[in-house]
Amino acid sequence: MPSSRFVRLLFSPGPKKSTAMKWVTIISFVILLSFAESRILHKRDHHEGHHDDHDHGPETKLLVGNIFTLLGNTNFQYLGMVIFSQLLQLCPYEEHVERVKHVTELADLCSKGAKRADCGHTVLRVALDEVCKAPENAEKYPFHAECCAKPEAERYPCFVSHQLTEPGAVPAYTRPEPEQLCKHHDEHKDTFMLNYIYEVARRHPQVYAPAIITIARNFDAITHECCKDTATAGQCFTEKMPAHVKELKIVSAIQKHNCYVLKAFGERVLSAMKLIHTCQKYPAASFANVQEIVQSIAHLHKTCCSGDMMGCMIERLHLTTRTCEKKDRISKHLKDCCDKDVIERSACIVKMENDEKPADLSPQVREYLEGPDVCKHYADEKDLYLAKFSCDYAKRHPEFSLQLLLRVSKGYQDLLTKCCAEENSHDCLIKGEEALKKEIESSTTLLKTTCAAFEKLGPYSFQNELLVKYTRNIPQLTDESLLHITSGMTRIGQKCCKIPEEKQMPCSEGSLSLVIGEMCEKMPANFPNEKVTHCCSDTYGNQRPCFTALGPDEKYVPPKLSDDSFHFTDALCTASSEEDLNHKKQTFLIHLMKHKPDITEEQRTKVITDFLTMKEHCCKADNHAECFAVEGPKLIEKWAELLGVLPEVKIHV
C-alpha cells in the first residue's frame, strides 16, 4: 500500500454508516488499542511483491506441515482443539480428542516430507475434511450436511455462520472441585490443557486460537501454583480466578469490538486510531516504520473479522515474527517478548507498556504552528502532513487518551483549512491554538472532577448519581441497561482513578467510550431520543464529550403511576446479599426518575427516605406482604401529592 493511500485512509471521509454500528464499533476498538500488537504483516508484503529470500509466502506457510513445523507438536494439538471446538461446539471432548489425534498425525507426516495429496492442503481444509468425513447428529448440527456439501471456499464460512455465539447457548462451564482439579493436573498433564482449551473455545467461538491457548496456559499456571498445597487450594482458586475470568472476557470483547470498528467505519478509522496508538507506544520508531505497522494491522483485522480465524492466527504469527525481525528499529523493549515461544510473543507484545520518550524528542511541536511553510506543507502533502502531525503530537503525549488526540488532530485540520485560506495565516494559526488548549483543559478538568467525586462518594453512591443523570437523560433505556451502563462507569472509576495520573485519561476515556459504544450498538435505528441518536452517530473523537453534555429529553412523556410503577413485595426483605439489596434499591431509584425526571434533589431525598422507612417497618412485621399491601398505596398517594403526579391505578403488591 503506497503512502498516499495510507494517508487517504487516515483523513479522507469514510462511507456513511448506520448510527448504532457506527458508534459502537469505533468505541469498542478503544480498549483494543491497548491490547493490539504492533507487528509487520508478511502476507501483505507477499502480495505486493516484497519478498525475503527465506520466505515462500503465506500460502505455503498455511499448509498443514508448515504449521506443524512452526508450532511444534504440542501447540499444534492445542490449535486443532480450538478449531474443532469452535466448529462443533456441542460435541463431547472425547470426540474432538480423536479428531485432534488424526490431524496431528497427518501434520507430523507432512512436516517430514511425506508425499500425500492432503499435505498440499491448509490446516483449515484438513480440519474441515476431518469434520465432514462422517455425518453428525442432525439435531445438534442441522447445518452439518449442508455446509460439508458446499464448495471448498464456502465450507468454513458456512460453519462460522452457524456458530453459537449468544451467552448460554453452550452450557456454562463448572470448574471441578479443587481436589479433583489438582488430581487431574498432577496425573494427566498432557490432557489438562487440551480439556481446558476445549471448554473455553466452544464457549468463545470468535476468539482467535493464540488468545485461547494463552488463556489456557494462564489457567495451567494458576492450577500449578494453587495445587502446591491442597489444603489451601480452594482459597487460592477463589483469589486468582476472578482476574483470570476477567481477562478472558476482555479478550473476547476486544475482538468483537474491533470488528465493529472495521464494519462501521472502515479501514480509514482503524488506521487513524492505530496511527495514534502506535506512535504513543513506540515514540522512538520512525514514521515509516509506524506506517508499515499500521497498514499491516489494518489488513490483519480484515482477515480476523471476516471469520477466518485460521487466517487470522497465521497473519498474527507472521506479523509478530516480522516485528521481532525489526525489533531494534521499533523498541528496545521488544527483545524480551521476541525471545518467547511463537504463541506467547503476541500476548507479550500486547501487554507491553508504552516506551519512554527518547531524550532527544523535543517537548513541543511548534513547527506545525510557527513554521514559515506550514500552509505550503499542508497544500503539498495534505493528509500525509496531518498524519505526521498526529504521530508527532501523540509521541509527546502518552498521558492523553486516544479520543482526545483525535479531537486535537481534527481541530488542527480545521485550523489549517481556515487559516491557510487567510492572508495572515501565521497569526491565525497562533490564535487558533487557544481552541486546542481549551479542549485539552476541558478533558483534563473533567477527569479530575470525576475522580474527586468518586473518591468522595464511594462506588455505591457514585453509581446512584450516575443513575439519576442517565435515567433523566435517557429514560427510554430499560432498567437493566441503565444498571449495566452505570455499573460499568463505576468500575471505570474504581480502576482508573487509582492508577498513576499519567495513565488515568487513556484508561478512563478509553473505557468509558467502550461502555457508551456498547449502549449505542444495542439501540434500534428508531430509538426515540434524538439527542442520543446524535451522540451515537457523531464522530468517534466527540462521542464522550457529546454524552457528557447530554441533557434531559424534553420530548419524553413520563408514564403515570400504575401497577407496574413500583413493586413493594416481601422480596425487599429477602435479599440474598448486600449487592442484591442495592440492586433492588437502585431499581426503585430508576423507576422514580422515569416517573419524575425533573424531580429536585430535596424531593428525591424525601421519597427515598420514605421508601427505606417503609421497607424497614414492613420487613420487621410478621406478615411482610400484608404490610406492603397496606403501606404501599399510602406511600404512592403521598408521593403523588409531593411530586404532582396522579396515580392511574392502585399499586399492585
Binding residues for Cu cation: 47
One-letter amino acid identity for 293? I
Closest by Cα among 48, 49, 46 to 60: 46
C-alpha cell at 353: 507498556
Longest CA–CA span in the chain (Å) reads: 88
| Residue showing cell 469514510 | 14
Closest by Cα among 412, 439, 442, 441 to 428: 412
Long-range contacts of 163-168 (CB under 8 A, 24+ apart): 163/86, 163/89, 163/205, 163/206, 164/89, 164/90, 164/205, 165/205, 165/206
Could you give the C-alpha distances from 35 to 236, 439, 574, 578, 606, in angstroms and in order?
Answer: 27, 27, 42, 35, 47
Q: What is the DSSP string of 145-166?
A: HHHHTS-HHHHHHHHHHT---S
Could you give the C-alpha distances from 31 to 60, 510, 512, 599, in angstroms and in order?
Answer: 34, 6, 10, 36
CA distance 358 to 284: 6
CA distance 600 to 588: 16
Using the Cα atoms of residue 137, residue 141, residue 142 and residue 147 in order, give the sign of their dihedral. negative
CB of 87 within 8 A of CB of 144? no
Within 8 A by CB and 6+ apart from 423, the residues are none
CB of 182 within 8 A of CB of 230? yes
CA distance 227 to 188: 14
CB of 223 within 8 A of CB of 196? no
- As to burial, measured by CB atoms within 10 angstroms (0-12 exposed, 13-18 middle, 19+ buried), residue 13 is exposed
CB of 132 within 8 A of CB of 155? yes
Q: Which residues belong to the annotated binding site for Zn(2+)?
A: 308
Q: Which residues belong to the annotated binding site?
A: 47, 308
Q: Which residues belong to the annotated binding site for Ca(2+)?
A: 308
CA distance 650 to 653: 9
- As to burial, measured by CB atoms within 10 angstroms (0-12 exposed, 13-18 middle, 19+ buried), residue 29 is buried
Long-range contacts of 168-177 (CB under 8 A, 24+ apart): 169/89, 170/89, 170/90, 170/202, 170/203, 173/199, 173/200, 173/203, 175/237, 175/241
